[in-house]
Structure formats: structure tokens, C-alpha cells
Amino acid sequence: MAGTSKPQRRTFRYWLQQLHLWVGLILLLPLVMMGITGAVLVYAHDIEHLPCW
């Protein structure tokens, strides 16, 4: 068969890229939360004095 190719072997580089991707995605959540809560702490005084709707 002309269109059939054997499956490619996964290389060390592929697995390293996958590890980097998933570690980055997992660490994204705590870093975003630290950024949001840090911004709230810095601007807490201004947030308290916002006009109410």
C-alpha cells in the first residue's frame, strides 16, 4: 500500500515538550491567583472607595 506509513517513535524531545507544557499549565493557576490576590491587596483602599451601584 502506497499511503501506509509505520507509526513514528516518540522522541525524548517530544516527551520533554509535553512535560514542559503540562507543568506550565498546572503552575499557571496558582500564579494567576497570586497575581489577582496581590492586585486586590495593593488596590484594596481604592476598591473600598469605589462608588456603589
List of residues 6+ apart from 40 with CB closer than 8 A: 47
Q: What integer pLDDT is reported at residue 46 of this predicted model?
A: 92
DSSP string, the chain: --S--PPPPPPHHHHHHHHHHHHHHHHHHHHHHHHHHHHHHHTHHHHHTSPP-
pTM over 0.75: no
Query: For each successive 10 residues of the chain (53 residues), what is the average pLDDT?
Result: 72 96 96 96 92 77
Cell 491587596: give the residue.
41
Cell numbers placing 30: 496558582
